[in-house]
Amino acid sequence: MWKPLRLILIVLAIPLAGVAYGQVMKRIGSGVPPAMATEALRADAVRVFKSERRMELLRDDEVIRSYRIALGRAPKGHKSFEGDQRTPEGHYLIDWRNPQSVAHLSLHISYPNAEDRARAEAEGRSPGGFIMIHGLPNGWGFLGPLHHLVDWTDGCIAVTNAEMREIWSLAPDGTPIEIRA
């Protein structure tokens, strides 16, 4: 009698502990973000190739860094509305950064633009927003490159925490980002 009950309690406790851990880590945050790289080292453009799960930082049209990425859970096609789990496609800017993100640092992508808004409104929907380049959820950085095994974001572009620190320092606000299918 007690063994099955104990097993059930253990099975229930493990996911609850994981959720509790995640909630605590969200509040702790990302720590101190890195300083910006010198202007001579910074990227002047970002390109994302969704089908290849790859993001590049460029300077003078030359690739200076390349990263494996995870995308939204429904990666094919352009983001149409809030909650569709897609990563947008098109031309945007990195327009602000969040050092206190629930994921390890984050850079905001200027989605939605006027065309995105019009498309969503024509469907009677909100286009959504808060599409970011970010690291892993705070406290889960130990997963490192394992996060590439599945597309898991709500439409964002995810990299490892170490990569996110590098991207944070190399891609200033105002950097254009092109997201391709």
pLDDT in tens, 64-75: 999 999 999 988
Instruction: Note the pTM of the prediction, 2 decimals.
Output: 0.83
Tell me, what's the pLDDT at 66? 98
Tell me, what's the pLDDT at 140? 82
Choice among 23-32, 70-79, 114-123 with the minimum mean pLDDT: 23-32
Tell me, what's the pLDDT at 142? 87
**CA 117 to chain centroid:** 21
Give the pLDDT band of residue 19 (cuts 50, 70, 90).
low
Residue whose structure tokens are 């286009």: 127
Task: Go through the domains of the chain in sequence order and give each one's CATH number.
Answer: 2-180 (2.40.440.10)
Helix (H, G, I), strand (E, B) or coil at 28: helix
3-state SS of 86-149 is CCCCEEEEEEEEECCCCECCEEEECCCCHHHHHHHHHCCCCCCCCEEEECCECCCHHHHHHHHH
